[in-house]
């Protein structure tokens, strides 16, 4: 136990006793004799905000992370005072505030301690920059595990680790390297079956120590700003993640093509090469929806320009690609080339839109085009200007989507890899230096991009990608995990990173499939595609300075495997789209690590490889060369092998066969998995029927299918179709009830039920209480039933 004297000795200051308490509706203020003010805000019964001021003064209350549309509201708030503490009671938790030390302790209504301060809030004054280094330390509870924190390339359970948040261009990063491209200061703690979350909303460099330095202490601190954190109580981890996602927001639905397979390289040029790649997909019958143009399409790497020698008529090219089912996605970087002949440079200079250094000079740094200046995207006027720059690209040329890169911002040839710390920023009217704005710079860039793209692709939906991100960036953009490497270790990293991002509120995420740096062999490429098709964003990208990385670059055996898996992704599009709908609307993470899926099973707490795609498909990639299968953990419950329909009883490890053309995939019993036929791109085929792979279960299970026009905003006016299926299986019967909502009329009339694992022979089929001729629903004696899409109850009885 650290004593206060030791703390003082180390230069730390800490609050002393409370001398004043005030309540202003849902805000409670506790002031100590030495000028610390703790503001506790009850936002929901299970969501409490803690903020500390020193010398009685808070920083202005402003955050880029919080979604203005977050659901807030509480039913109960009572404050009880006794000799030693204040007790704040909400409908879900009790918060104790100690009168002598300002330390807090949070427990559930049964009195189980969920989270408690060790030293609690303490700080060091920062003479050089002003303000404080603000710190919080908590007691690590027995058996506690920690998850989340964005893109950290380390074991999913963070116990025993120390990490830092400072968005960094980390080319060819390694396992355990930190920090990487994102700063998401949010984690979930889990102990004794109960989960809570902490979001430390502070954009300065932040640090987290999960029982690393001292076994019984978990702490977090920042180089400036307020100690300002949100506490979420579960006790379900899924609730914690959803509540955090609600507070910081989720994206609107993307156009469905954004969920297809995408092909990228640094760089495809000239036009003939782009066309050749596109043709390769159609010739080989490998589905693909988008093709990416990396920096070389630009004229000397000047943003919003084209190299007319390589792309003489971009508008025509984009149109021709579109006619063949390809969307064109182009890269835009933040650095603006210093070039008096370049109108964007001149305009930004004249308008004062570039960042300046402490004493006034422009902030200058080298990126692809050479010396650049950098727009201050934390200035709302700059964002508006930047958004307008997309008009020509999107409206006139027909570009479909935009990819923002290097927005940490990355600066070459300097040790810090980024802007100097004295660079000044507007920070939406709260002027500051780069120390505070660094972690949100890329976020504000992509926010501006999103606004522009959204405006100019209207009536279509925007699709944007970013590399750098702070908490909340998921509202604007999808993301990828940056410059990885074509190694087996990176396949492991990609798997952990995507699960971790999903647990950190950021589901629309993918890796550079196959690896960005270096060249994968065919086996690694195939294994990576097999994982990548289960990531919400699915794109092959590579640095292009080695061999090719198209699906057909590794010989026919690999091409066939890759095609087979990309086809699975296209078949699963309605399932994936429904996952996105649930993420967007209900804040449910699109991938679930096993601990998120079943936290009560302690076996799941240290698993890294297996995950649930959506809610009903269990996936486990093969992450080693020469494998014919692997050991894996199957979570509790019964699971159907996707390939063979063999049923496994979960709650144990087992070996699963998986030759190079297969990986372990299991379907939760009772699930109804919607599928489309294989298309070469979204919208290629008229969908004649919705396939419903129906997996028998003794008992009940619900499944949903969300559909709409796949683009545009009609769905916001109710023109969507949401089918909720309730499956009930008994020894000699199977019942499926359908509950429908929304006014969208799907183009198909028929549902095709493929029945898996039916334990009896069909005797009779009734649809909405009318017995139907078996031949009419099972033409030619097939194992499928064709039923009208508007049915309410399907009842099958067995012999
Ligand atoms: C960065 C990006 C990479 C891109 C390259 C060239 O390294 O992370 O994806 O290909 O820049 O633009």
Give per-residue pLDDT as tens, 548-583: 999 999 999 999 999 999 999 999 999 999 999 999
Structure tokens given for 492 = 């492991």
The backbone torsions φ and ψ at residue 579, rounded to the nearest 5 degrees and listed phi first, read: -60, -45
Beta bridge partners of 761: none
Distance CA 395, CA 592 (A): 38
Locate the ligand 1 atom nearest the alpha carbon of residue 483 and give its number. Answer: 8
Contact (Cβ atoms closer than 8 angstroms) between residue 737 and residue 792: yes
- Predicted pLDDT at 777: 87
- d(Cα 205, Cα 562) in Å, to the nearest integer? 41
Pick the residue whose CA is nearest to atom 5 on ligand 1. 266
* Contact criterion met (CB below 8 Å) for 168 and 408: yes
Does residue 11 surpass a pLDDT of 90? no
| pLDDT of 1 higher than 80 | no
Which band of pLDDT confidence, cut at 50, 70 and 90, is reported for residue 3? low
CA dihedral 267, 273, 276, 277 (to 10 degrees): 0
Cα 483 to averaged position of ligand 1 atoms, centre (Å): 7
Same-domain pairing of 223 and 269: no
CATH number of the domain encompassing residue 319: 3.20.20.80
Residue 405 near ligand 1, beta carbon < 6 Å: yes
> Is there a single domain that holds both residue 68 and residue 85?
yes
Sheet holding 145-148, edge to edge: 18-24, 27-32, 37-44, 47-53, 227-233, 194-200, 186-191, 145-148
In this prediction, residue 129 carries a pLDDT of 95
> Are 58 and 126 members of one domain?
yes
CA nearest to 8, candidates 27, 34, 40: 34
| Separation between Cα atoms, residue 643 and residue 646, nearest integer Å | 8
Q: Is residue 503 part of a domain?
A: no
Nearest to 576 by CA among 637, 617, 634: 617
- Dist CA 783 CA 550 (whole Å): 37
CA distance 331 to 480: 13
- Say how many Å lie between the CA of residue 367 and the centre of ligand 1: 11
**Best residue for ligand 1 mutational test, from 329, 407, 485, 543 (most atoms within 8 Å of Cβ):** 543
Q: Whose CA is nearest to atom 7 of ligand 1?
A: 483
**Mean pLDDT to the nearest integer, 673-688:** 98
Give a three-class secondary structure readout of 733-777.
EEEEEEEEECCCCCCCCEEEEEEECCCCCEEEEEECCEECCHHHH
State which H helix or E strand residue 220 sits in. Answer: strand 217-222
Distance CA(653)–CA(227), nearest Å, equals: 43
Which residues have CB under 8 Å from 671's CB, separation 6+? Answer: 616, 617, 693, 694, 695, 701, 703
Claim to verify: residue 243 and residue 261 sit in the same structural domain? no
Would you say residue 501 lies in a domain?
A: no
Q: How confident is the model at residue 16 (pLDDT cuts 50, 70, 90)?
A: very high
CATH number of the domain that 79 lies in? 2.60.40.1760
Quick one: 326 and 194 in the same domain?
no
Inside any domain, residue 316 = yes
Query: What ranges in 85-151 are assigned the alpha helix state H?
Result: none
Nearest atom within ligand 1 for CA of residue 482: 8
The CA R_g of the chain, rounded to the nearest whole Å, is: 27
Closest-lying ligand 1 atom to the alpha carbon of residue 467: 8
Q: Which of 626, 641, 668 is the last residue of a domain?
A: 668
Whether 689 lines ligand 1, by a CB cut-off of 6 Å, is no
Single out the residue of 200, 177, 253 nearest to residue 482, CA to CA: 177
DSSP states of 58-92 = PPP---SSS-TT-----S--EEEE-SSEEEEE-SS
| Residue 235 preceded by cis peptide, ω within 30 | yes
Q: In sequence order, which residues have a C-beta less than 8 Å from that of residue 535 and are 6 or more positions away?
A: 494, 498, 509, 510, 511, 591
* DSSP-derived secondary structure for 398-439: ---EEEE-STTT--BTSTTSS--TT-EE-TTT--EEHHHHHH
Quick check: 271 pLDDT over 70?
Answer: yes
Q: What are the tens digits of pLDDT across the range 222-266?
A: 999 999 999 999 999 999 999 999 999 999 999 999 999 999 999
Q: Do 318 and 454 have their domain in common?
A: yes
Rounded to whole angstroms, the Cα distance separating 702 from 704 reads 7
Q: How far is the CA of 54 from the centre of ligand 1 (A)?
A: 43
Answer whether 408 contacts ligand 1 (Cβ < 6 A).
no
Look at residue 545 in the predicted model and tell me its pLDDT. 85
Q: Residue 267 CA: which ligand 1 atom is closest?
A: 10
Which residues on neighbouring strands pair with residue 754, listed in sequence order?
693, 784
Instruction: Please state the domain count of the chain.
Output: 4
Atom nearest to 295 CA in ligand 1: 12
Residue 713 alpha carbon to ligand 1 centre in Å: 32
Band the pLDDT of 782: cuts 50, 70, 90. confident
Active-site residues: which are they? 405, 408, 483
Question: 294 CB under 6 A from ligand 1?
Answer: yes
Q: What angle do CA 494, 495, 500 make, to 5 degrees?
A: 95
| 404 belongs to a structural domain | yes
Does residue 742 carry a pLDDT above 90?
yes
Is the CB of residue 152 less than 8 Å from the CB of residue 166? Answer: no
pLDDT at residue 2 tops 70:
no
Q: Are 277 and 261 in contact (CB under 8 A)?
A: no
Q: Say whether pLDDT at 517 is over 90.
A: yes
My answer on whether 597 and 730 are in the same domain is: no
Position 8 scores a pLDDT of: 61
Separation in Å, CA 353 to CA 345, 363, 419, 546: 10, 11, 16, 38
The rounded distance, in Å, linking the Cα atoms of 447 and 39 is 30
Nearest CA to ligand 1 atom 10: 266
Q: Give pLDDT tens digits for 278-327.
A: 999 999 999 999 999 999 999 999 999 999 999 999 999 999 999 999 99
Q: Compute CA 251 distance to the chain's CA centroid, rounded to the nearest angstrom.
A: 10
pLDDT over 80 (residue 4): no
Provide the CATH number for the domain around residue 778: 2.60.40.1180
Distance (Å, rounded) from C-alpha 200 to C-alpha 207?
A: 10
3-state DSSP assignment of residue 604: helix
Q: Is 333 in the pocket of ligand 1 (CB under 6 A)?
A: no
Rounded CA-CA distance 239/594 in Å is 15
How far, CA to CA in Å, does 616 sit from each of 640, 651, 668?
11, 16, 5
The answer to whether residue 563 is domain-embedded is no
Ligand 1 center–CA 295 separation, angstroms? 8
Question: Per residue in 361-414, pLDDT tens?
Answer: 999 999 999 999 999 999 999 999 999 999 999 999 999 999 999 999 999 999
Substitution site in 171, 263, 516, 539 for ligand 1 pocket (most atoms within 8 Å of beta carbon): 516
- Do residue 651 and residue 734 come from a single domain? no
> Does residue 250 contact residue 256 with C-beta atoms inside 8 Å?
no
Where does a domain end: 465, 480, 495? Answer: 480
**515 touches ligand 1 (CB under 6 Å):** no
Q: Is the CB of 98 under 6 A from ligand 1?
A: no
Q: Are residues 244 and 260 in the same domain?
A: no
Give the atom of ligand 1 at the shortest distance from the alpha carbon of 541.
9
Q: Is 442 in the pocket of ligand 1 (CB under 6 A)?
A: no
Query: Quick check: 768 pLDDT over 90?
Result: yes
Cα 308 to ligand 1 centroid, rounded to whole Å: 22
Q: What is the widest separation between alpha-carbon atoms in the chain?
A: 86
Sheet strands (E) in 126-212: 132-139, 145-148, 162-165, 182-183, 186-191, 194-200, 206-210
Cross-strand bridge partners of residue 106: 95, 115
Q: Please check whether residues 229 and 317 belong to one and the same domain.
A: no
117 lines ligand 1 (CB under 6 A): no
Q: Is residue 565 one of the residues assigned to a domain?
A: no
707 lines ligand 1 (CB under 6 A): no
What would the mean pLDDT of 325-331 be, rounded to a whole number? 98
Q: What is the chain's mean pLDDT, rounded? A: 97
Domain residues for the domain of 694 are 686-798
How buried is residue 261: exposed, middle or buried, by Cβ count under 10 Å (0-12/13-18/19+)?
buried
**Confidence category of residue 595, pLDDT binned at 50, 70, 90:** very high
Among residues 668, 697, 721, which one ends one of the domains? 668
Residues 208, 319: one domain?
A: no
295 CB within 6 A, ligand 1 = yes
Q: Is residue 287 part of a domain?
A: yes
For the question of whether the overall pTM of this predicted structure is more than 0.95, the answer is: yes
Distance CA(105)–CA(96), nearest Å, equals: 5
Beta pairing partners, 124 = 133
Looking at the structure, do residues 260 and 242 belong to the same domain, yes or no? no
Whether residue 496 lies inside any domain: the answer is no
From residue 696, give the alpha-carbon distance in Å to each of 264, 705, 777. Answer: 40, 18, 18
Distance 516 CA to ligand 1 centre (A): 8
Mutate to test the pocket of ligand 1, among 329, 406, 540 (most ligand atoms within 8 A of CB): 406
């Amino acid at each position: 136990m650290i004593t206060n004297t030791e703390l003082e000795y180390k230069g730390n200051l800490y609050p002393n006793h409370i001398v004043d308490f005030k309540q202003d509706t849902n805000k409670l203020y506790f002031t100590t004799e030495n000028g610390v003010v703790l503001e506790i805000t009850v936002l929901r019964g299970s969501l409490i905000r803690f903020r500390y001021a020193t010398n009685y003064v808070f920083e202005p209350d402003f955050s880029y992370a919080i979604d203005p549309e977050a659901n807030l509201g509480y039913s109960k708030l009572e404050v009880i005072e006794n000799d030693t503490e204040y007790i704040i009671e909400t409908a879900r938790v009790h918060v104790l505030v100690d009168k002598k030390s300002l330390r807090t302790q949070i427990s559930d209504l049964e009195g189980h301690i969920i989270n408690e301060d060790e030293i609690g809030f303490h700080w060091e004054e920062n003479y050089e920059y002003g303000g404080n280094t603000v710190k919080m330390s908590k007691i690590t509870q027995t058996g506690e595990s920690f998850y989340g924190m964005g893109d950290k390339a380390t074991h999913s359970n963070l116990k025993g680790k120390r990490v830092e948040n400072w968005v960094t261009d980390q080319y060819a990063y390694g396992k355990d390297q930190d920090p990487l491209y994102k700063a998401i200061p949010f984690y979930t703690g889990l102990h004794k079956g109960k989960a809570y979350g902490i979001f430390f909303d502070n954009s300065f460099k932040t640090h987290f120590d999960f029982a690393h330095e001292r076994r019984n202490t978990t702490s977090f601190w920042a180089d400036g700003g307020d100690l300002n954190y949100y506490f979420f109580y579960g006790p379900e981890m899924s609730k914690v993640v959803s509540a955090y996602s609600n507070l910081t927001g989720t994206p609107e639905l993307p156009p469905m093509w954004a969920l297809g397979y995408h092909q990228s390289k640094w760089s495809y040029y000239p036009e003939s090469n782009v066309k050749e790649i596109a043709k390769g997909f159609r010739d080989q019958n490998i589905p693909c929806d988008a093709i990416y143009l990396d920096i070389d399409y630009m004229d000397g790497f000047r943003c919003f320009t084209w190299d007319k020698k390589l792309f003489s008529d971009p508008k025509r090219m984009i149109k021709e690609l579109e006619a063949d089912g390809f969307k064109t996605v182009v890269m835009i970087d933040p650095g603006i080339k210093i070039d008096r002949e370049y109108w964007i440079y001149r305009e930004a200079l004249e308008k004062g839109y570039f960042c300046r250094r402490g004493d006034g000079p422009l902030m200058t740094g080298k990126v692809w085009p050479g010396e650049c200046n950098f727009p201050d995207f934390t200035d709302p006027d700059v964002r508006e200007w930047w958004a307008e720059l997309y008009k020509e690209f999107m409206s006139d040329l027909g570009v479909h989507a935009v990819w923002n890169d290097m927005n940490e911002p990355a600066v070459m040839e300097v040790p810090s890899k980024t802007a100097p710390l004295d660079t000044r920023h507007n920070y939406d009217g709260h002027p500051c230096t780069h120390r505070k704005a660094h972690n949100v710079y890329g976020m504000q860039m992509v926010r501006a991009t999103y606004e522009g793209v959204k405006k100019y692709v209207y009536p279509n939906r925007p699709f944007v990608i970013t590399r750098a991100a702070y908490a909340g960036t998921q509202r604007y953009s999808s993301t990828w995990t940056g410059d990885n490497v074509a190694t087996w270790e990176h396949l492991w990293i990609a798997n952990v990173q995507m699960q971790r991002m999903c647990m950190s509120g950021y589901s629309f995420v993918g890796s550079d499939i196959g690896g960005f740096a270096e060249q994968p062999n065919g086996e690694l490429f195939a294994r990576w595609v097999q994982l990548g098709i289960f990531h919400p964003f699915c794109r092959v990208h590579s640095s292009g300075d080695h061999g090719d990385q198209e699906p057909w670059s590794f010989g026919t055996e690999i091409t066939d495997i890759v095609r087979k898996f990309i086809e699975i992704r296209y078949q699963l599009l309605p399932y994936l789209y429904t996952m996105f709908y649930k993420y967007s609307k209900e804040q449910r993470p699109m991938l679930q690590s096993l601990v998120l899926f079943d936290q009560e099973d302690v076996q799941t707490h240290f698993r890294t490889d297996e995950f649930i795609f959506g809610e009903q498909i269990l996936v486990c990639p093969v992450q080693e060369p020469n494998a014919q299968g692997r050991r894996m953990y199957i979570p509790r419950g019964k699971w159907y092998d996707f390939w063979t329909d063999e049923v496994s009883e979960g709650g144990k490890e087992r070996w699963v066969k998986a030759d190079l053309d297969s990986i372990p995939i299991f379907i939760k019993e009772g699930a109804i998995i919607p599928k489309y036929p294989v298309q070469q791109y979204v919208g290629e085929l008229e969908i004649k029927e919705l396939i419903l792979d129906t997996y028998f279960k003794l008992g009940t299970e619900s499944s949903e299918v969300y559909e709409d026009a796949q683009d545009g905003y009609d769905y916001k006016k109710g023109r969507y179709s949401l089918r909720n299926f309730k499956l009930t299986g008994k020894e000699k019967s199977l019942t499926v009830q359908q509950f429908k909502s929304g006014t969208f009329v799907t183009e198909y009339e028929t549902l095709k039920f493929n029945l898996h694992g039916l334990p009896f022979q069909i005797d009779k089929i009734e649809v909405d209480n009318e017995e139907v001729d078996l031949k009419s629903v099972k033409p030619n004696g097939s194992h499928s039933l064709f039923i009208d899409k508007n049915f309410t109850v399907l009842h099958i009885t067995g012999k």
